[in-house]
Amino acid sequence: MATLPELNFTCMVEDHFKEDLDEDVIYAIMHMDSPRKALMKSHVLKEEGNKLFKTKDYRRALNSENDAHMMEELTVAINLNIATCWLKLKEFELAKRQCDVVTNFDCFNVKACFRRAQALINMGQAEAARQDLLVAFRFEPNNGEVQKELR
């Protein structure tokens, strides 16, 4: 089994993100040495935004919060894509770990719960998979893939 690498994810930032993101944020996303660090950076930006808000520097607080939101959104998507790649490569432990990164920041992320459930099923951990599927079902009861796995 492969080990979890520090992924160098010099990624292509989608055009609709480029127009909303500050150049420094794009640079940070593209030069983070792991998606986990990018998520952590988004939380640092949120904390900076909170501090700026408390000092009544609302313009800079807004910019910091917007940058944090966009960075988090993009890095969650990247983590989920990496998890899907690990699933396709049948590296189920690595797929699970990638989903764990997302659920550590958003425990109700339906895609992360569903993909982690797929990994867990393939690892022979049916009960843990069922718990993730039930979380996904609670937030997206009409999701056909989730319904199918729960049967």
Residue ranges and CATH numbers for the domains of the chain are 9-89 (no CATH), 91-151 (1.25.40.10)
Q: Is the pLDDT of residue 16 over 50?
A: no
Weakest mean pLDDT among 34-48, 68-82, 108-122, 124-138: 34-48
Q: Which of 25-34, 102-111, 126-135 has the highest mean pLDDT?
A: 126-135
Dist. CA 132–CA 25, nearest whole Å: 32
Residue 3: band (very low, low, confident or very high) from pLDDT cuts 50, 70, 90: very low
Tokens of 6: 């520090």
Higher per-residue confidence, 92 vs 75 = 92
- What b/e sequence results for 13-51 when a residue is b if at least 16 CB atoms lie within 10 Å of its CB, and e otherwise? eeeebeeebeeebbebbeebebbbebbebbeebbebbee
Q: Is the pTM of this model over 0.75?
A: no
pLDDT of residue 24: 60
